[in-house]
Amino acid sequence: MTTGRYVTFEGIEGAGKSTVAALAAERLRDVGMSVVEVREPGGTTAGEQIRSVLLDGDAHLEGWTEALLFAAARAQLAAEVIKPALMSGSWVVGDRSVYSSLAYQGGGRRLGIEAVEAINRQGLGDVWPDHVVLLRIDASTGLDRQDVEDRIGSEGAEFQSHVAEAFDLLAKLEPDRFTTVEASLPLDHVLDEVMRGLLGVSR
Ligand code: Z5A
């Protein structure tokens, strides 16, 4: 049986993940792939409820509470949506994934990348991104592009720089899994680079 591939788009705020993920999914469909799009946190009934606690709530959350809630929403998404899609041969295109937890909670919140990976592995089993597209942008350009700010997006510049450093470290540690693209370039250019990374061609 052929299983699909799981691709995720990552980066700091305003890098263009949602925009580029949707366009990449469209291009994959154009070349005949079946594609399921997911976003994190969310994508299931329970996951959307957890999303509002994580992003819309005013309450202070401890770092580990935050990390465990992201992992819980993700475990549900993996079991309910991602694994069945991959088993049916579809590609899964993710707007964020476990790599956001490694960078935001592991790096940004200083919980440690390995410790955050461990709590996520439990709930994900063998569901893990095959390919990570890291859209790189400097924090001020990213913030200028953002229209809505959430609880985590309103953290200060120091937090954002820890997150960006963690993403760079993750890309360095897993060069075969990551495609890194300069996201301040025009959208068409960004998309061509992404598709070159995903399919080995520019269309
Ligand atoms: N979070 C976490 O801490 N841990 C986790 O495990 C996970 C998430 C999964 C999720 O919020 C928050 O949760 C996020 C990380 C944290 N918080 N922060 N900060 P979300 O899903 O609601 O939002 P987001 O993922 O942060 O989205 P975003 O960064 O705000 O946006 P984006 O998806 O990167 O960008 P966009 O919406 O596609 O584009 C923004 C604008 O830029 C838009 O007008 C585009 O048309 C424009 N754009 C995009 N590309 C270009 C180019 N190349 N040129 C010019 N303009 C462009």
Separation of 86 CA from ligand 1 center, angstroms? Answer: 25
What does DSSP assign to residue 110?
-
The pLDDT confidence band at residue 50, using thresholds 50, 70 and 90, is very high
Separation of 2 CA from ligand 1 center, angstroms? Answer: 32
pLDDT tens for each residue of 1-30: 567 999 999 999 989 999 999 999 999 999
**Fold of the domain built from segment(s) 6-199:** Rossmann fold (3.40.50)
pLDDT tens for each residue of 71-117: 999 999 999 999 999 999 999 999 999 999 999 999 999 999 999 99
- What does pTM read for this prediction? 0.96
Of 156 and 165, which is predicted with more confidence? Answer: 165
User: Which residue lies with its CA nearest to atom 12 of ligand 1?
Assistant: 152
Q: What is the atom index within ligand 1 of the atom nearest the CA of 187? A: 53
d(CA 111, CA 30): 41
Q: How far is CA 98 from CA 33, 69, 114, 119, 124, in A?
A: 24, 12, 12, 10, 9
Q: Exposed (0-12), middle (13-18) or buried (19+): which is 110, by Cβ within 10 Å?
A: exposed
pLDDT tens for each residue of 111-141: 999 999 999 999 999 999 999 999 999 988 8
Which of 10, 48, 62, 104, when mutated, tests ligand 1's pocket best, judged by the most ligand atoms within 8 Å of its CB? Answer: 104
Of 60 and 156, which is predicted with more confidence? Answer: 60
Which of 150, 159, 182, when mutated, tests ligand 1's pocket best, judged by the most ligand atoms within 8 Å of its CB? Answer: 150
Which residues are CB-neighbours of 77 under 8 A, at least 6 positions away? Answer: 38, 40, 42, 43, 44, 47
d(CA 10, CA 39): 11
**Length of the chain in terms of residues written:** 203
CB-based pocket (< 6 A), ligand 1: 11, 13-19, 40-41, 55, 70, 96, 100-101, 104-105, 145-146, 150, 152-153, 183, 186-187, 190
Domain ranges of the chain: 6-199
Separation of first and last alpha carbons in the chain: 28
Q: Exposed (0-12), middle (13-18) or buried (19+): which is 186, by Cβ within 10 Å?
A: exposed
Per-residue pLDDT at 1: 52
Separation of 11 CA from ligand 1 center, angstroms? Answer: 8
Tell me the two tokens of residue 92: 């899964």
Count, in order, helices (H) and strands (E) of the chain.
9, 5
d(CA 12, CA 138): 9
Q: Is the dihedral of CA 42, 48, 49, 53 positive or negative?
A: positive
Per-residue pLDDT at 146: 76
User: Which residue lies with its CA nearest to atom 27 of ligand 1?
Assistant: 13
